[in-house]
Chains A and B, each alone.
Chain A
Amino acid sequence: MYGWLWRHLPGPAMVRVLILLALAVGIVVALFTVVFPAVAPLLPLDQNTLGDGS
């Protein structure tokens, strides 16, 4: 998977490393700002209300 990605990225090794870093940062930002906030209320991790919470 990652080997395939590495082989299909253009440019010399240094450029590929930079592209991968940018990709990783983008994915982390997407996880922190969109995915995790959307998923967290569905998980029974930090509920603190009583009853059905109304």
Chain B
Amino acid sequence: MSLAEAPPSAHRPGHARRGGSPGTRLLGVLGELLITAGVIVGLFVVWQVFWTDVEGSRAAASHIDSFEQSLPVSPEQPAVEQTGPPPTEPAPAPGETFATMFVPRWGADWQFPIAEGVARAGVLDAGFVGHYRATQMPGEIGNFALAGHRQSHAKPFYGVDRLETGDEIIVQTAQAWYVYRVTESYVVAPTDTDVLAPNPGDPTAEATERTITLTTCHPLWSTRERWIIHGVLDHWVDRADGQPAELIAMEEDG
């Protein structure tokens, strides 16, 4: 049949397949549902990979702002390094912002708020680094253990593989600045909670050091393992006295 002989259609072209057998129409609906599902999964990837970073960074900046406004002033001058027992930090309520952290290796722009607990909703997915509730507080003898995302949700610990032994991890609370130095970096299974023990080097022994631990996922784009960073307290400084020289140097370098 040539085109010229085709009978004139009463329907608009878009409606040509409106008839069809019930089976054909069912297949059509099924196809549309599958396409819709594909689009939604695609949108989820965009949300997970891109949008959670946008929202997370925005949330982190606003948490830092409101926390720093609540803090007593700390003059911008190098303070005396103290190695004696630091002040006792009060136990925060779940979800409460009680500290912020700096890692000069990750750049002068990198600062993250620390909240109590490691819940996904309200803490890790809300622009915070989370503090494992069962672990010790900053400066305390034992283990100050933190969890953070390595991808998505502002990916606070994205640069974990660039940390080197001796790098500073600086924690700011309402009372003091704590300067830790990285001692160890390794990978464990997600079930290996010994890294959170007060003495991660020897979980059965009593803690003697003031340790910090960072935990995040590994490898990139996977949750198969956990990347662990340990550090020990090098010194602390009183807020009223000034700030750690390492922090001032970082801010001057830009």
> Chain A residues in contact with chain B, CB under 8 A?
1-3, 28, 31-32, 36-37, 39-41, 44-51, 53-54
B215 CB contacts on chain A under 8 angstroms: 48-50
B150 CB contacts on chain A under 8 angstroms: 46, 48
Known contacts A32-B47, A36-B48, A44-B223; is A50 also within 8 Å of B217 by CB?
Answer: no
**Quick check: B148 and A50 within 8 Å, CB to CB?**
no
B195 at the interface (CB under 8 A from A): yes
B67 at the interface (CB under 8 A from A): no
The one of A28, A46, A54 that contacts B223, using a Cβ cutoff of 8 Å: A46
8 Å CB interface, B132-184 against A: 132-134, 147-153, 157
How distant is the Cα of A30 from the Cα of B28 in the complex, in angstroms? 26
**Quick check: B196 and A51 within 8 Å, CB to CB?**
yes
The one of B118, B125, B149, B217 that contacts A54, using a Cβ cutoff of 8 Å: B118
B69 at the interface (CB under 8 A from A): no
> Chain B residues in contact with chain A, CB under 8 A?
14-15, 18, 28-29, 32-33, 40, 43-44, 47-48, 51-52, 118-121, 124-125, 130, 132-134, 147-153, 157, 188, 190-193, 195-196, 215-217, 223, 226
Task: Select from chain B the residue with minimum beta-carbon distance to A36.
Answer: B47
The one of A32, A41, A48 that contacts B217, using a Cβ cutoff of 8 Å: A48
Task: Select from chain A the residue with minimum beta-carbon distance to B119.
Answer: A53
The one of A36, A50, A53 that contacts B195, using a Cβ cutoff of 8 Å: A50
B149 CB contacts on chain A under 8 angstroms: 46, 48
Known contacts A31-B47, A36-B48, A50-B215; is A3 also within 8 Å of B121 by CB?
Answer: no
> What is the CB-to-nearest-CB distance from B105 to chain A, in angstroms, rounded to a whole number?
19
> What is the CB-to-nearest-CB distance from A52 to chain B, in angstroms, rounded to a whole number?
9
The one of B15, B18, B33, B153 that contacts A46, using a Cβ cutoff of 8 Å: B153
The one of A39, A46, A49 that contacts B151, using a Cβ cutoff of 8 Å: A46
Other 20 A-B pairs with CB < 8 A, given A40-B120, A48-B148, A50-B190:
A1-B29, A1-B33, A2-B32, A3-B15, A31-B40, A36-B48, A37-B121, A39-B44, A41-B121, A46-B48, A46-B153, A46-B217, A48-B124, A48-B157, A48-B216, A49-B130, A49-B132, A49-B190, A53-B147, A54-B132
A31 CB contacts on chain B under 8 angstroms: 40, 43-44, 47
How distant is the Cα of A31 from the Cα of B134 in the complex, in angstroms? 35
